[in-house]
A and B are shown apart, each in its own frame.
Chain A
């Protein structure tokens, strides 16, 4: 069977599975819709959290980022896993004991204030939409590459699938489809990685393989460590050593902290811990979630190192006509572009960009070709020795082809990419819809609506959210990639400190919390907007505050939030008696009933 047909089978089969699960797990109450009835087992919740958390970016882009930036990418690996330690010890168990439906619920009740609740709702919606636009685009791109349909058509198909199980099943439907999606995506990520590891080092486990010695083409041990060899190769080409960083230590430190605290403060992750039956389950469920996430996150750096070595050794100094087939395929998709600067017919790699921007071509291969049969790149050429542009997303998508793996592995990777994007999109859309129907409508604007009306409102809000997300997927705002810093920075500067103080500092009152959130948000928001949109030309280390980039500034915003909240709470009245009792109550596990609205 050819790749195309297999891909249709795999992706179609996985869709049938998701829809089947959605029909089986329809939501019949608001409790089902918001927190899956509160009866999800900790292992299932761990898998669902992992799928929720690992987006198209984790699945498709991360290994590529690592491959091209080496040690500097470690900040994502540590940042996006270290946050779970904070979540497991500082937030999840207590929020579960509190037993409400959403993050603004906790903030509104603990700080006895609808102002605090509304600020939280706005943050939730902003953070989640920032994120979801990229997911819808991711679905479209995977469709376009593997199924040869239009990107926009891919977005529409993705919307239809999410629509089906998110609107029908709410959190209940999403949870069980996410478990299935986790299985699909982790299998799809690990299979090519294991093949590649065996091929290059003879190790079955990629995690040990990338610290092992390299095999030559005949399978004999060369006695040279892979990373040593990679360091040598990239330095010969003028890059910095793969295993050493180029970013400043202080910036790496602040980015890691912003990612960790941001992860712990992301509403779509926190809300997953409201779905398990007990406090005990919430703690252990964080352990399962990180275990499932670590399977991918410890494999990705190995894939990055394998792929970078493989790529350079295959492509550098090779005559264009002699290159393997995948090079031409990805050139056709516009993710590879080659300009023969020294006119020797060979592809040279070197530090620096081959030309400005992403490649634009004079025409398709059958219309316009260069002297060696390559597609003609029309970008402005730079004056260094680099001749080839390789999009970093290729690393994962092309791995099966680069490693000469069977066609079904390629089909599997396509299904995995779609699963990763869909699962994250659904989780985010649910958080948006519950923020609107529960926090805004039920808790603030119209407290007297019945449960049936609230459930209907939640479904309608989900429909609207899907349509908006789809619109952004089809007409991506140019700044999508730029605003990822927003989601983490804002979560770190707003939710993480106020939730933490709400649990660990009984004396924290509404004045302190609101002032802290406002200052943390305003500071982080304006710093990022200033360097990303107002004056992007100033976005370099010498202009940054303390040398901290916009990606890491959420950490400073968080510290400001803590300081302001503390200072303001000392000079204003302590929270009322019954709030202090709530805080005492959430600190002990006994008595955690199911999540409830009252």
Chain B
């Protein structure tokens, strides 16, 4: 039972990491590098959108991802009863 619980906790963690890393990849490598020319045709305030993602947007998304991961994992820790005292 204990082992099964640990396995389920790990699977949930992996799923979370996988989801967040897809977003991480899309905003930096996707919007900032691979599709930057296409996105540059879109105006975002005074920025070309691709350029904005490369120099500003991706960093903001990184920040949100790390904080969301920390909060979600704290919840998961409790749900699977593996949290620290």
Contact = CB atoms under 8 A, between A and B. Distances in A.
Contacts of A408: none
Nearest to A74: B54
A313 interface: no
Contact of A81 (B47, B59, B77): B59
Contact of A256 (B33, B37, B45, B63): B33
A145 B35 CA distance: 42
Query: SS class of chain A's interface: helix, strand, loop or mixed?
Result: helix
A93 B34 CA distance: 31
Contacts of B77: 280, 589-590
A211 B47 contact: yes
In order of increasing CB-CB distance, the 8 nearest A-B pairs are: A74-B54, A225-B46, A211-B46, A283-B70, A301-B55, A243-B51, A588-B82, A287-B66
Nearest to B81: A590
Contacts of B45: 208, 211-212
A66 B55 CA distance: 10
Contacts of A278: 84
A518 B33 CA distance: 31
Contacts of B20: 85, 89
Nearest to A300: B55
Interface stretch (A176-184, A289-297, A528-536, A564-572): A289-297
Q: In the complex, which range does the number of interface residues on chain B fall in?
A: 35 or more
B74 A588 contact: no
A590 B9 CA distance: 12
A215 to B, nearest CB: 13
Interface string B1-30: 000001001100100010011001000110
A88 interface: yes
B83 to A, nearest CB: 6
A515 to B, nearest CB: 26
Interface in B40-68: 40, 44-48, 51-52, 54-56, 58-60, 62-63, 65-67
B20 to A, nearest CB: 6
A118 to B, nearest CB: 31
Nearest to B34: A249
A122 interface: no
Nearest to B13: A587
A280 B74 contact: yes
A84 B56 contact: no
Given A225-B46, A256-B33, A81 B62 contact: yes
Contacts of B34: 249, 253
Q: In the complex, which of the residues B13, B51, B58 has the most CB atoms of chain A within 10 Å of its own CB atom? A: B51
B21 A89 contact: yes
A584 B84 contact: no
A244 B40 contact: yes
A82 interface: yes
Contacts, number: 136
A88 B62 CA distance: 10
Contacts of B21: 85, 89
Nearest to B6: A588
A78 interface: yes
Contact of A252 (B9, B33, B70, B84): B33
A243 B40 contact: yes
B77 to A, nearest CB: 6
A278 B73 CA distance: 13
Nearest to A228: B46
B55 A280 contact: no
B57 to A, nearest CB: 10
Interface residues on A, range: 35 or more
Contacts of B10: 587-588
28 contacts: A71-B51, A77-B59, A82-B62, A85-B65, A88-B70, A90-B17, A227-B51, A243-B51, A244-B40, A249-B34, A253-B29, A256-B28, A256-B29, A278-B84, A279-B84, A284-B70, A286-B66, A286-B70, A287-B66, A290-B62, A290-B66, A294-B60, A294-B63, A297-B59, A587-B6, A587-B10, A589-B77, A589-B83
A130 interface: no
A212 B45 CA distance: 7
B66 A592 contact: no
Contacts of A116: none
* B9, B24, B84: residue with the most chain A Cβ atoms closer than 10 Å: B84
Contacts of B36: 71, 245
Contact of B56 (A207, A283, A589): A207
A227 B58 contact: no
Contacts of B13: 587
Contact of A590 (B24, B59, B83): B83
Interface in A65-118: 66, 71, 74-75, 77-78, 81-82, 84-85, 88-90, 93
Given A212-B46, A278-B84, 16 more contacts: A77-B59, A78-B28, A78-B32, A85-B21, A88-B66, A90-B17, A211-B44, A227-B47, A227-B51, A243-B47, A243-B48, A249-B34, A280-B73, A280-B83, A286-B70, A294-B62
A7 interface: no
Contacts of A294: 59-60, 62-63
A318 interface: no
A77 B54 CA distance: 8
B69 A89 contact: yes
A213 interface: yes
A588 B11 CA distance: 12
Contacts of A587: 6, 9-10, 13
A85 B19 CA distance: 12
Contacts of A382: none
